Structure 1
Amino acid sequence: MSRYESHFAGLPVAHLHEIPHPKATRSDNARARKPQAPLPAAADAAWALRVPGYQAHETYEEYFTRFLETVKTEDVPAIVIGTWGEHGESSATAVRLLCEQAARLPALRHLYLGDISSEENEISWIQQSDITPILTAFPALETLVVQGGDGLTLDPAVGHPALRTAEFQSGGLPAAIPRAFGAGAFPSLTSLELWLGVSEYGGDATVADLAGILRGDGLPALTRLGLMNSEIQDEIAAAVGSAPVVSRLTTLDLSMGTLGDEGAEALITGQPLTHLTHLNLRHHFIGEAMRRRLLAALPGVDVNLDDPEEAEEWGDGQAWRYTEVAE
């Protein structure tokens, strides 16, 4: 699921040069000794911090130390944290090391925690941890992207004065994350995207856990809301129909989930959505007749109804809908 392999926050992603290492093979060391292009200026890149999940020549801590010694960290605007160790190891060490060096990263504004491709680790197998220290250690942070939900938690008492964009990509997002964004004060947040996922992979958030977000009391600047990739997408659509936060939005994203005719009906009969600029319902289970009704009810709104899906029939005759991203 890696989305920022080459760029993040509008900046090219830069990696430290390979170095000869006692544990490396002769061919690896020969490659590392070849002339390599100069590193960019610290302020001109998003810096990748990652080690392979297997046969790594350095531990994550060794790589991080080399980053501190090599790059003018006081100018670094963006960091992309990828694999931090062997499969099954949580992000706790990566989070701790980053937060311990917050004073050396005063310009950090954009952070991606878990830029891990499916070839390296499936999204629902990524082991995350408590990310509360990130929000407390970096009060000027503007962008936070987190991939993976297993073990992920956030103190519901925490808020953040400067955060503008928050994205949580998962096949199963713990309820602690939407609760925290519904309970805390995020006065600068304009875009919030949550991939809620499925219960099989830890996605245990209910509509009740979204209540604080849907009220929007601590989210006065929010204009884009994504409650996506959910197996309870119809219930979410019904809740959106009376949610106070919706009147302030320009973009509502309910894509990637199991939205069907029931949820679409709720969007039509609930509060007016004609003020929206974009309504994203891509990857859905809405029938053709209901799709026509939706489009007729929302003239002037850019409604994305791409990727219609067909429910799969189970042996007991029940129809099964699926989210776009699970494992």
Structure 2
Amino acid sequence: MTAHDPVTHALGRYPEGVEGVYDTYAGLPVTGISDLGPDGEPPSAADHAWRLWDYLEYGAKDGVAESVRRFFGEVDTRRVRAVVVPEYTGRGGSLGDAVRLLAEHADDLPELRAVFLGAVRGDMYQISWIEHGDVTPLLEAFPKLERLEVCGNSQEGLRLRPVRHDALRMLRFESGG
């Protein structure tokens, strides 16, 4: 990891010895469903960026569905301001699934302002391996979204259709090869 590692720059410093977990995103500490306390009470929804699909906890088959079910069932999503979506192609879903699920739940996420798709550590996964679909539904579903960041392969299906979005302040695509 270097100071020029773009994912490190966007997400903050990685905790030493913990792979795939980030300290911060959009100025908020990152947390996930696996970070629930012993009483099962989630941390404050508004004061954290939420890691959707925690690959440290969920297996390949049910990871996406279980993480999404728990996120919308156990977290006060009406107060969530930021979501981090690690790459999970081949692990029970795709980033296209994440875009679709977030867009379908837009009414449950009225305060969402920042989304990071394909947030992975360079020493764990190459961003050129991450496949995307059309990310336009996020901008259409979340008119208050201010920040959309996408890391992944731009040659394998990543699309952004023409769309007007008055609130967006940061649109960042990063690819490698």
Q: TM-score range by the shorter chain?
A: 0.7 to 0.9
Change (3 A) 1:117 1:36: farther
The residue correspondences of 1:50-89 to structure 2 (distance < 5 A) are 50-52=53-55, 55-56=59-60, 58-86=62-90
- Residue deviations 1:282-303, cap 9 Å, x none? xxxxxxxxxxxxxxxxxxxxxx
Cα offsets for 1:295-327 (capped at 9, x unmatched): xxxxxxxxxxxxxxxxxxxxxxxxxxxxxxxx3
Alignment deviations for residues 238-297 of structure 1 (CA, whole Å, 9 cap, x no partner):
xxxxxxxxxxxxxxxxxxxxxxxxxxxxxxxxxxxxxxxxxxxxxxxxxxxxxxxxxxxx
Aligned residue identity for 1:154: L
Find the aligned partners of 1:36 and 1:58 in 2 and give their Cα distance.
24
Unaligned runs of 5+ in 2: 12-21
Please give the residue correspondences for 1:1-327 in structure 2 after superposition, counting only pairs within 5 Å. 2-3=7-8, 4=11, 5-17=22-34, 35=38, 39-52=42-55, 55-56=59-60, 58-86=62-90, 90-148=94-152, 149=154, 150-155=156-161, 157-171=162-176, 327=177
Distance 1:121 1:164, change over 3 A: same
SS at match of 1:144: strand
Question: Which structure has the bigger radius of gyration?
Answer: 1
For normalisation by structure 2, the TM-score amounts to 0.78
Q: Which has the higher contact order (CA 8 A, sep 6+)?
A: 2
Q: TM-score, normalised by structure 1?
A: 0.44
Q: May I ask how many residue pairs the two structures share in their alignment?
A: 157
Shift of 1:39: 2.9
- Paired residue secondary structure (1:12): strand
| Percent of matched pairs sharing the same residue | 41
Note the aligned Cα RMSD (angstroms). Answer: 2.6
- 1:109–1:35 Cα change, 3 Å: same
User: Does the CA-based 8 Å contact 2:84-2:116 persist in structure 1?
Assistant: yes
Report the Cα distance in structure 1 between the residues aligned to 2:146 and 2:170, rounded to whole angstroms. Answer: 6
